[in-house]
């Protein structure tokens, strides 16, 4: 913290508070400080500050010659140097300088809320909040509030513009928010505005080589701390990217409309939260729920119809090019083929069958011809009514598929009719898709002229929200591909289940670069997956598919495919391979049948970005625990204490590990499935082959297990 900030008025608003509340809500307004006139005298250097509940993090807000700034310290050491705040507006006066503090207010929150589904059931929201009302000193008048929430694991802040004369409708031309880092940290990042949206391999580099980055961006500081910058509660605003300025300062760069405006809005309005997660270890970033905590509570009154689960689908065969989305001889979405998948799903106890290519519009260049898609009319060889009944009889549901190719007007025209139809047919989940490159989303403007928009600007943020709300009205869960980045809205709309927004399994089928290298899945848990669940579609068992796609393959061992079900969180997980490939390997497939998608708790045992990761999760509906451990191209031996199991209880560990000679390149199928008794005082040695992994189910042991698996007495 600079001396200048120390000199001016400041006050320790929150003493450390480590009170560990049980499941109760206690929101306390601690102190309301009205500073109306007192501070205006020293307007050149007003400051206020707020600390995290444990006192470790501190945010200092200051006005430097009337321009708002903030900084963040940890144990008194700078994490974010004094950084600009502010909004540049059109059709209303800006909030960039010439400001003074007219009021401030603080409160402390400590409550536990329950996720209807998720990676952890009960989430603690424990933070201290500081609200600062700023007024323009010159004419025309105007007020803006900056709100900070400081948690033990990071900081969120946003701007609010209250209803007031002169702000009925205005445009945000620039958001001045900066993140002035303290050094040239190592970053894991992908670029902003790259043509293929968020579907890139993450790069590892010093911050100083980045031009513009998407969020989440994760960094390691010189002294070994971890920082991740993102946003929370993106609602009717533009997505944020980060433009580098100087050596290692980022500045918010909002994705613009085609006319250059960043955000079209009206008072009262709130921006999304800008989030900075800070942790001692990379694993703590994974178990930080700061982004969810900054979202509004569930808005859906009835959530009983929202059900996590597993699905199979007519999907991988199109990516392997053994069948087509388009009609004709190789059409995948036929009645007969769908029945085959329904039978298979029913046999395995899976919940859904995704069918892509069921609807008219896939013939020809579907990426270009988005307006030809119908979301209600099926191809002649797909009996949608009969198949829905067939699925219902077998206890399975069809999963709808709406590929829009970015034709938003076409989709929005049909969305309600489509969802009406799916609801009537008993469809409970729809996968949407927005294949379109760069700034190529088609929007029809007020004059009927077609404009091309970015996938992540305000126009699309509005569209994705509209789709979630319309789906909720029809009791439909969404799985969104080519999505905007998630900012935690699943808390507010729990039917927003999962999304893509990164390179998933499909790249292994056809990417020109050969697919996802072994380290991809030990980078995305620390970057993209910090924002939300991902529909990665794990579980490919035919790893080489030499006949279908000789130039591609999956760059993992078989055991690693199983481990991904635990490592990557998704409430809807796909068993992505073809039924015949699972039928050929029933023993490892048992793990996919068993693994749940809804968890009571999640803990990280080992974490090193780009190298390895071990996660354990407790099933929400049984006493079982599951472990997933994955490595990059290096083989590793990791020791896993099983302290998380219930004490004084014997469990069977069903271990699906790499075999002694396994190696993703030369011997990917070598696998050993073993069983062993364990107790929470014990520990397991995880031997991960190069490009490999290990998956374990821990279930309470029966008497028979104990007899069979106990080492024989001499």
Residues engaged in binding ligand NOJ (CB under 6 A)? 315, 356, 403, 433, 435, 481, 500, 506
Which is catalytic among the residues 500, 506, 547, 679?
Answer: 506
Could you say which DSSP state residue 580 is in? H
| Nearest one of 410, 694, 399 to 557, comparing CA atoms | 694
Q: Which is nearer to ligand NOJ, 404 or 557 (CB)?
A: 404
Cα dihedral sign, 356-503-478-372: negative
- How many other β-carbons are positioned within 10 Å of the β-carbon of residue 361? 23
Strands 273-279 and 154-161: antiparallel
Q: Which is nearer to ligand NOJ, 398 or 605 (CB)?
A: 398
Alpha-carbon distance 284 to 278, whole Å?
9
Q: Write out the two tokens for 135.
A: 């007024």
- Rounded least distance, CB 578 to ligand NOJ, Å: 15
Would you say 130 and 148 are in contact if contact means Cβ atoms under 8 Å apart? Answer: yes
Would you say 107 and 17 are in contact if contact means Cβ atoms under 8 Å apart? Answer: no
- How many other β-carbons are positioned within 10 Å of the β-carbon of residue 522? 21
Would you say 539 and 565 are in contact if contact means Cβ atoms under 8 Å apart? Answer: yes
- Rounded least distance, CB 362 to ligand NOJ, Å: 9
The answer to whether 506 is a known catalytic residue is: yes
Q: Which is nearer to ligand NOJ, 501 or 668 (CB)?
A: 501
| Nearest one of 382, 379, 381, 376 to 362, comparing CA atoms | 379
Alpha-carbon distance 624 to 492, whole Å?
29
Alpha-carbon distance 415 to 401, whole Å?
12
- Rounded least distance, CB 320 to ligand NOJ, Å: 12
Would you say 145 and 269 are in contact if contact means Cβ atoms under 8 Å apart? Answer: no
Q: Which is nearer to ligand NOJ, 231 or 506 (CB)?
A: 506
Could you say which DSSP state residue 201 is in? P
- Rounded least distance, CB 248 to ligand NOJ, Å: 34
Alpha-carbon distance 714 to 712, whole Å?
6
Q: Which is nearer to ligand NOJ, 315 or 459 (CB)?
A: 315
Cα dihedral sign, 341-346-349-353: positive
- Rounded least distance, CB 707 to ligand NOJ, Å: 47
Q: Which is nearer to ligand NOJ, 354 or 684 (CB)?
A: 354
Alpha-carbon distance 318 to 333, whole Å?
10
Would you say 57 and 80 are in contact if contact means Cβ atoms under 8 Å apart? Answer: no
- Rounded least distance, CB 401 to ligand NOJ, Å: 7
Q: Which is nearer to ligand NOJ, 485 or 636 (CB)?
A: 485
Using left for φ > 0, alpha for ψ between -120 and 50, and beta otherwise, residue 610 falls in left
Q: What is the Cα Rg of the chain in Å?
A: 26
* Catalytic center residues: 506
């Amino acid at each position: 913290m600079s001396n200048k900030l120390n000199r001016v008025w400041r006050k320790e608003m929150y003493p450390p508070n480590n009170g560990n509340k049980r499941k109760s809500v206690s929101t306390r307004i601690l102190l309301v400080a009205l500073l109306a006139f007192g501070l205006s005298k020293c307007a050149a250097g007003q400051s206020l500050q707020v600390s995290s509940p444990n006192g470790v993090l501190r945010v200092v807000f200051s006005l430097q010659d009337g321009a708002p700034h903030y900084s963040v310290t940890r144990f008194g050491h700078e994490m974010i140097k004094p950084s600009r705040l502010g909004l540049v507006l059109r059709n209303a006066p800006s909030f960039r300088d010439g400001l003074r503090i007219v009021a401030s207010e603080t409160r402390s929150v400590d409550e536990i809320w329950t996720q209807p589904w998720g990676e952890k059931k009960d989430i603690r929201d424990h933070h201290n909040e500081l609200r600062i009302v700023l007024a323009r000193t010159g004419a025309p008048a105007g007020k803006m509030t900056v709100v900070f929430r400081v948690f033990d694991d990071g900081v969120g802040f946003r701007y609010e513009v209250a209803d007031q004369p002169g702000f009925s409708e205005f445009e945000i031309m620039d958001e001045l928010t900066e993140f002035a880092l303290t050094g040239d940290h190592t970053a894991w990042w992908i670029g902003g505005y790259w043509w293929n949206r968020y579907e890139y391999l993450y790069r590892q580099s010093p911050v100083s080589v980045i031009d513009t980055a998407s969020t989440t961006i994760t960094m390691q500081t010189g002294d070994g701390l971890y920082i991740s910058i993102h946003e929370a509660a993106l609602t009717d605003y533009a997505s944020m990217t980060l433009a580098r300025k100087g050596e290692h300062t980022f500045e918010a760069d909002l994705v613009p409309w085609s006319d250059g405006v960043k955000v079209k809005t009206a008072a009262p309005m709130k921006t999304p939260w800008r989030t900075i997660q800070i942790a001692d270890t990379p694993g703590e970033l994974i178990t930080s729920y700061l982004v969810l905590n900054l979202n509004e509570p569930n808005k859906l009154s009835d959530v009983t119809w929202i059900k996590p689960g597993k699905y199979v689908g007519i999907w991988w065969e199109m990516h392997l090019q053994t069948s087509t989305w388009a009609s004709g001889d190789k059409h995948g979405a036929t009645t007969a083929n769908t029945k085959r998948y329904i039978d298979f799903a029913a046999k395995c106890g899976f919940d859904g069958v995704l069918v892509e290519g069921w609807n008219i519009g896939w013939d020809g260049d579907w990426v270009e011809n988005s307006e030809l898609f119908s979301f209600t009319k099926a191809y002649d060889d797909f009996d949608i009514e009969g198949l829905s009944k067939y699925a219902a009889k077998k206890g399975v549901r069809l999963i709808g598929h709406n590929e829009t190719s970015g034709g938003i007007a076409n989709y929005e025209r049909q969305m309600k009719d489509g969802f009406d139809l799916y609801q009537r047919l008993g469809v409970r989940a729809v996968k949407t898709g927005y294949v379109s490159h760069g700034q190529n989303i088609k929007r029809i403007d007020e004059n009927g002229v077609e404009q091309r928009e970015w996938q992540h600007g305000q126009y699309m943020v509005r569209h994705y929200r509209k789709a979630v709300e319309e789906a909720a009205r029809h009791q439909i869960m969404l799985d969104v591909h080519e999505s905007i980045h998630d900012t935690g809205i699943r808390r507010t709309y729990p039917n927003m289940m999962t999304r893509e927004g990164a390179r998933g399994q499909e790249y292994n089928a056809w990417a020109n670069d050969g697919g996802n290298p072994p380290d991809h899945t030990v980078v995305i848990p620390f970057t993209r997956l910090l924002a939300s669940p991902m529909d990665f579609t794990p579980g490919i068992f035919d790893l080489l598919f030499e006949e279908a796609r000789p130039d591609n393959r999956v760059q993992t061992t078989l055991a690693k495919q199983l481990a991904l079900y635990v490592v990557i969180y998704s409430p809807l997980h796909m068993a992505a391979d073809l039924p015949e490939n699972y039928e050929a390997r029933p023993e490892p497939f048992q793990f996919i049948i068993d693994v749940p998608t809804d968890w009571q708790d999640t803990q990280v045992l080992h974490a090193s970005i780009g190298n390895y990761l071990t996660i354990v999760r407790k099933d929400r509906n049984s006493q079982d625990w599951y472990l997933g451990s994955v490595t990059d191209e290096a083989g590793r031996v990791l020791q896993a204490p099983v302290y998380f199991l219930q004490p004084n209880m014997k469990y069977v560990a069903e271990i699906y590990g790499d075999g002694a000679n396994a190696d993703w390149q030369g011997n990917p199928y070598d696998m050993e499935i073993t069983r062993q008794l364990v107790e929470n005082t014990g520990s397991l040695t995880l031997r991960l082959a190069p490009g490999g992994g290990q998956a374990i189910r821990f279930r309470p042991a029966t008497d028979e297990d104990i007899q069979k698996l106990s080492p024989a007495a001499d």
